[in-house]
Amino acid sequence: MTFSDEAKLKKIQEHVKKIEYLKFTNNNLLYWDKITNMPKKGIEFRSEVMSFLAGEIHKLGEDKEFNDLVSYFEAKDSEKLDIRTNSMIRRIKKNYEYVNRIPADEYRDYIYLIASAEEIWSKCKKNNDFDTIVPYLERIINHFKNFAEYWGYEQEPYDALLSFYETGVNLKTVDTMFVQLRDFIVKLLERIQESKVHIAKDIFKGNFRKSKQSKMTMDILNRIGFDFEAGRVDEGIHPTILPNSNKDVRIITAYDEKDFRPAFTTSLHGGGQALYEQGIDSDLYGTFLAEPSSMVILEAVARFYENIFGKSKEFWDFYYPILQGYFPSFKDVPKESFYKGINNVESTFIRMDADELTYNLHIIIRYEIERDLMNNKLKVKDIPDVWNQKYKDYLGIEPPNYSLGVLQDVHRFSGYFGYFPSYILGNFYDDIVASGNWKEINEWFKEKIFVHGAIYNPQELIYIVTDENLKSEYFIDYLNKKYKYIYEI
Amino acid sequence: MTFSDEAKLKKIQEHVKKIEYLKFTNNNLLYWDKITNMPKKGIEFRSEVMSFLAGEIHKLGEDKEFNDLVSYFEAKDSEKLDIRTNSMIRRIKKNYEYVNRIPADEYRDYIYLIASAEEIWSKCKKNNDFDTIVPYLERIINHFKNFAEYWGYEQEPYDALLSFYETGVNLKTVDTMFVQLRDFIVKLLERIQESKVHIAKDIFKGNFRKSKQSKMTMDILNRIGFDFEAGRVDEGIHPTILPNSNKDVRIITAYDEKDFRPAFTTSLHGGGQALYEQGIDSDLYGTFLAEPSSMVILEAVARFYENIFGKSKEFWDFYYPILQGYFPSFKDVPKESFYKGINNVESTFIRMDADELTYNLHIIIRYEIERDLMNNKLKVKDIPDVWNQKYKDYLGIEPPNYSLGVLQDVHRFSGYFGYFPSYILGNFYDDIVASGNWKEINEWFKEKIFVHGAIYNPQELIYIVTDENLKSEYFIDYLNKKYKYIYEI
């Protein structure tokens, strides 16, 4: 690289740093404070501050000199640049071009629509009212159809959304894998439902003191390698993680004193995400690459820790005596009953309540509906009928109302259209993981994945780590073995 | 005001809002998080973020269009503007002109010097080493002498500093009041030391559980009218308050499990400051006037709650049974002994440990030394001798080393030169307060003082509220009566 190129690169990085400072502060720290500590009446001023900072972030992204410098490197032969620079330029383009390709007026309309639709959605859900949301949903989908045209796609409009959330994925690949997976799970579920094996479910009802659940959370996080000098855990309204840098990663958890499982799940799901964030190389700040490769990869790591790891026999062989120490009521429950109980499979209306197996069907249903909407094969007003039919066909249950059905998720009403496949793709990625002791798992992940931040895109990362492309067979195998054992089928 | 003037004013206010957003966020919220929640390793990135935001605040203050608009209103006949506009313009000028009048190079040097001197001071204090700090202190004082010339003053250089911290105060007024007060207290202290009255001091040693101290703190704050929906209390390294707006005021306290008094003091000192912040009119945001009239007035309110209120017989008539509920060891201590004990007078080397009476002498000593340094009547190298002589003359004790003497405060090494008189002036202001029940006191303060934010300068405020100018007689009277009773002199 020439001297002048280096100076140009330095300018880009200085500008990126400013955006990172504001983003971490506004999206993570101020938001974290809002959901954990902020007194009730603080909301008005906080909202003003957060919307001001969002505006500043937007302004920095639109800066002409910055964008000219980025275009300069984009026009260069990428062979002559190192991988970090190429990834950074690609990332910046992705962050801004997607928005910049949308005409400013339309983008403003969309943002405004999203903001009001979330409020409407919340009311409709409460009142079991789908009709009122129809025109909003139609407008949102029309926007996304337009976006797909602005962004471009290879074969079908939905491809544009898929590659926005997960660079390098297309509809054909996903369709093939999802059909395979769906058909397999539907059949497996039927056999599970016919199984005569007794699963103890009532063992999870009881009194689980908050202080004990908190101790369990800290213990698990400590064992999987969470660095408490570079992060913390707090209680908040809904579980999430918020990194203020790789050295300050905050997990939010919630305690249910009647059931320890939500806190347990968060300690592994959120814990896995937190390990990812802590493992990112510090040198990547100032490049937009100091973040996970994609939402899917992040979710994949989280679901690995939550399910493949945290619901395995091996996990409970080691951890059950410790859990019994925290919650003595389990002393009367044999380990095998506990293991089967925590892996109980049961069709539910609500995605958030689903088990490891049926969760995938919830995602596939959403995926199929979104795909058909985008590709003009489904009308908004027909969603409820299709939704209910699919729940009947795949899960064998029919939602009694909209709130327990089509209106349960805010996602499609808040700009996360096309996001759902992420959850399930994550499960495939999990198969890249070998077993080992708890901190070693983190070391392996760190070296192979975390440290690279977003240098590689998800597909590159999979290939580099596993020497294979993404496929569904490993995941199907895993599910098959697990549930055959549990349900003796 | 003309239509065009209104548009200009709106522009100023929009600009001021941006500065306020960044200031509250950086100086208060991010700092609050740093001292209460931030994990250890988060410090590096946090420092980068905070110094970036400080730079942005500085840039906004230097904005040419903004400054031109301010100058436009400053040049106008103030009779034609309302009081808010006049105060806002005065405040903006004060915020920026003081810095702007210093040549940029010198200001940078000064900031850099302060930053390194604080580190040096910390080491010197530890090593009981005054010599090393001398050249730093000389350079700081030379800067302040220059600043005084840039800022201008009526009679003596120290006046410039006094009016920076407290508009409308001059050396002559302060000198007169301080000499009166000093001579009075020195004499009173001699009589107290000769008193035969037995004061029980060991009653304050014991075990005071943190959880109980926390409950006491919440109880007191609730009783004085602190709004917990617009604020909160957390534990941190050193007590302070940090407002993120009048609707989100955060008190930091610290607990000593061997002595409940530090937490008790904070609940009233910090509580008083917090009531002030919560009482400020919301309409003042966007004018720089949504803050206390001055540090002195804020400190005055805090010291009113801490001493005149919280160390009064009337306070303990009501509160002693409640305190005994929290800490049963006091059940064996008669109320009168407790009241006298908590008002025990004793000369100490360290200002922070001083009682209500001798505290004033600590401040006066600092004031006299700073004044003489600024007015070229004292050299830096001679400070320790003068310091020790004054402690001997006024308090009757001589510090055995520098750490317990001249090196105890960071203030003069961190830009707070000229700040000390604030603490004591506060006591005079307290006399504007009538008695009443606890929440009524807040209502009175709120209506007369808090709600106005910084619309009036401190001297105006005193005059409006009391119909008198500031004088020392009331405070001397108060001290005289109080200690005559306690020490039977």
User: Nearest 5°: CA angle at B222, between B216 and B225?
Assistant: 140
C-alpha to C-alpha distance for A242 and A32, rounded to whole angstroms: 7
Task: Say what the pTM is.
Answer: 0.85
Q: Which of A25, A37, A39 sits opposite B49 (nearest CB)?
A: A25
Find the chain B residues whose C-beta atoms sit closer than 8 A to any C-beta of A: 17-18, 21, 24-25, 29-30, 33, 37-42, 44-46, 48-49, 52-53, 227-232, 234, 244-245, 247-248, 285
In a domain, B107, yes or no: no
Looking at the structure, do residues B54 and B198 belong to the same domain, yes or no? no
Q: Give B-chain residues touching A221 at CB under 8 angstroms.
A: none
For A285, nearest residue in chain B (alpha carbons): B45
Read off the amino acid at residue B267.
S
Looking at the structure, do residues B187 and B46 belong to the same domain, yes or no? no
pLDDT of residue A432: 40
Residue B481, CA distances (Å) to B182, B426, B488 in order: 17, 19, 10
pLDDT of residue A421: 52
C-alpha to C-alpha distance for A307 and A430, rounded to whole angstroms: 10
For the stretch A150-162, pLDDT in tens is 988 888 898 888 8
Q: Which two tokens stand for residue A485?
A: 């054992």
pLDDT of residue A97: 76
In a domain, A472, yes or no: no
Q: Which of A41, A52, A231 sits opposite B230 (nearest CB)?
A: A41
In a domain, A440, yes or no: no
In a domain, A108, yes or no: yes
Contact A374, A141 (CB under 8 A): yes
Domain that holds residue B74: 3-100
Q: What is the DSSP letter of B435?
A: P
Q: How many CA atoms lie within 13 A of A466 on its CB side?
A: 18
In a domain, B124, yes or no: no
C-alpha to C-alpha distance for A117 and B290, rounded to whole angstroms: 35
Residue segments in chain A with a per-residue pLDDT below the cut of 50:
413-420, 422-423, 428-429, 431-436
Q: Give B-chain residues touching A25 at CB under 8 angstroms.
A: 25, 30, 49, 53
B69 Rama sector, left if φ>0, alpha if ψ -120 to 50, beta otherwise: alpha
In which element (H, E) is residue A232 found? strand A231-235
Q: Residue-wise over A458-481: b if at least 16 C-beta within 10 A, else e? A: bbbbbeebbeeebbbebbbebbee
| CA quadruple A335, A336, A340, A341: dihedral sign | negative
For B234, nearest residue in chain A (alpha carbons): A37
pLDDT of residue A417: 43
Contacts of B374 (CB under 8 A, 6+ apart): B141, B144, B145, B148, B156, B157, B158, B161, B418
Read off the amino acid at residue B155.
Q
Residue segments in chain B with a per-residue pLDDT below the cut of 70:
1, 166-168, 410-437
We report the CATH number of the domain holding residue B225 as 1.10.1370.30
In a domain, A106, yes or no: yes
pLDDT of residue A323: 96
Contact B347, B189 (CB under 8 A): yes
Quote the mean pLDDT of chain B: 88
Read off the amino acid at residue A453.
G
CA distance A269 to chain B (A): 21
* Contacts A–B by Cβ distance under 8 A: 93
pLDDT of residue A295: 81
CA Rg value for chain A: 23
In a domain, B155, yes or no: no
Q: Give B-chain residues touching A37 at CB under 8 angstroms.
A: 37, 232, 234
Partners of B249 in beta bridges: B231, B243
Question: Are B244 and A21 inside 8 Å of each other by CB?
Answer: no
Numbers of helices and strands, H then E, in chain A: 20, 3
C-alpha to C-alpha distance for A140 and A124, rounded to whole angstroms: 16
C-alpha to C-alpha distance for B44 and B50, rounded to whole angstroms: 10
pLDDT of residue A420: 44
How many folded domains does chain A comprise?
1
Indicate the residue among B58, B81, B100 that finishes a domain.
B100
Indicate the residue among B65, B100, B135 that finishes a domain.
B100
Indicate the residue among B49, B69, B100 that finishes a domain.
B100
CA distance B446 to chain A (A): 18
Looking at the structure, do residues B86 and B183 belong to the same domain, yes or no? no
C-alpha to C-alpha distance for A168 and A165, rounded to whole angstroms: 9
Q: Which of B38, B52, B228 sits opposite A39 (nearest CB)?
A: B228
For B51, nearest residue in chain A (alpha carbons): A21
Angle between helices B210-224 and B313-326 (to 10 degrees): 140
Find the chain A residues whose C-beta atoms sit closer than 8 A to any C-beta of B: 17-18, 21, 24-25, 29-30, 33, 37-42, 44-46, 48-49, 52-53, 227-232, 234, 244-245, 247-248, 285
Partners of A242 in beta bridges: A250
**For the purposes of burial, counting CB atoms within 10 Å of the CB of A97, is it exposed (0-12), middle (13-18) or buried (19 or more)?**
middle
Question: Are B25 and A24 inside 8 Å of each other by CB?
Answer: no
Q: Which of B38, B40, B231 sits opposite A39 (nearest CB)?
A: B231
CA distance A306 to chain B (A): 25
Looking at the structure, do residues B334 and B463 belong to the same domain, yes or no? yes
CA distance B73 to chain A (A): 26
What sections of A24-131 are H helices per DSSP? 31-36, 43-62, 64-75, 83-100, 104-127
CA distance A30 to chain B (A): 8
Question: Are A247 and B49 inside 8 Å of each other by CB?
Answer: no
Looking at the structure, do residues B259 and B364 belong to the same domain, yes or no? yes
In a domain, A17, yes or no: yes
pLDDT of residue A111: 80
C-alpha to C-alpha distance for B258 and B265, rounded to whole angstroms: 15
